Structure 1
């Protein structure tokens, strides 16, 4: 099966993060010939070392990568065309899709949402000009959705690292990060600029448990590396996707943002706090609460999520954080996060579901 995946980089690393993982998994695990169209190669190059940000076309990790320019390169469509997050393939490419004797299966890969309505919209077709049909494919948390991206063997790798303190220490050293001291909690911070990160640092510095906080480049730049109170801040290097996964696995608590790191933090099976991408008219608040209704954690941990996002209880963020990190809440939260990851893993992963969906419709087009 030959597939084109189109990606416009909007949320820095979130959009391309999802598309790059999907492209590699379809190629590695399903034997597809995948061509990934990206409009911002410099951003992708940070996620994927070895990518040439100036190349018009290249191949990496079994995936053909095309710089999506205007006008777009005059390439023929594959058997499947996936537009990520309604990014609209070039009009001339869509025209070539219409001209095919056997039109490709056209899929719009939607943003992840835990809202109930996505179950009714998942896999629905939408008639398009020229006799084409576009299918809406919704990632999600239930069997009535397309599931979540999860590579084969991912959780076994996670379990092996989390069960091996020496391997964890070696990973942190290789990543250029200090190892947590005895009794010190490792936390990671990846958030948007409006997050109350200064308040987070203040609470951790005054907390009962020492914390090592790893922060990647460009995030909360006002939080300098160094120690104050019970907090040590380490500026983490930018890690490729596999390295970031391992950082999440190694941590005791992860603050994440957007979609890609949000999904990966759930596979880490560790307590996590999500900074959701802000949307007009506070539409993101409904999405946050929809996920919290599914995420089976203590009430204090759930309240912390809304406060972190500037919603209900924002003024009480310091108090809610201190409560969520108390042993009485954090230990049940830790167990619930791991159980949630195991529950999600009982569903087929997104790439497998998408491959099956497209194959079935391609056969129907024959």
Structure 2
């Protein structure tokens, strides 16, 4: 039995009033100074790692988990409300199988403490919200310029924004006072293409673009055709009428575009001048028949309830009447 074990036993075996003697007292062992320094160094290293980690999180270099309900859309929306539902469902399936592999980018809300604004990742937020999950996000200090550039570059890299979404995004930035060079950078286009996007955005009213939706299969030439057509008098009224049709909301976004384009291109046919209806009356003043002329048709009407027999009588004599007419009106032949 070791002295240390014996000392412990003696400590608990002695009565409450018995103090350990000099013979039973275990001498205190000293810890080497090198071990103390090593322990201090370990704590210092852990503390440095912790501070470095905190700084990385603060700088947005590491993602954190956020409650989707605390995240607001970008103030410069680049997507229409009718997002591709299949894409969101695919994201949800990926979240459940692999987790969220790519974090979103947000900034602290400039006016509401504790809330955030998205730069990119709207669909990932929607998928996480519908699944009841938190969303991984980089939180960074972003000015409006940096936010829209990051937003535009991310979406341009994926090439999943439709032409009209890019057009309306470019117009929103233009009207927001952003420089044209920044708009070009955000959309990864040259000056000429940026001008085309903005011009189409100006020509197509916002309400109409929203009514049509993303129109993923409709490119710049067709949207330009619509923009040009809307310059004609009455075209916008035709477009609005097309959007109020009962079947409009049941069409796909691409088909809604086609319906509007057809509507504004439809030629207004001048209404035919109505010839006054001629009436034939009996000697007693009773109306016998009427003659109405519309377009290329002459229509004789006789009241069936009262004069059906007379109508048949007239029909039987029409060939004779026609021959007499041709004899008296030679110019009518041929």
Question: Greater share of helix residues, 1 or 2?
Answer: 2
Question: Greater share of strand residues, 1 or 2?
Answer: 1
Fold agreement, TM-score > 0.5: no
Bigger CA radius of gyration: 2
| Higher relative contact order, structure no. (Cα contacts within 8 Å, ≥ 6 residues apart) | 1
Q: TM-score, normalised by structure 2?
A: 0.21
Q: TM-score, normalised by structure 1?
A: 0.19
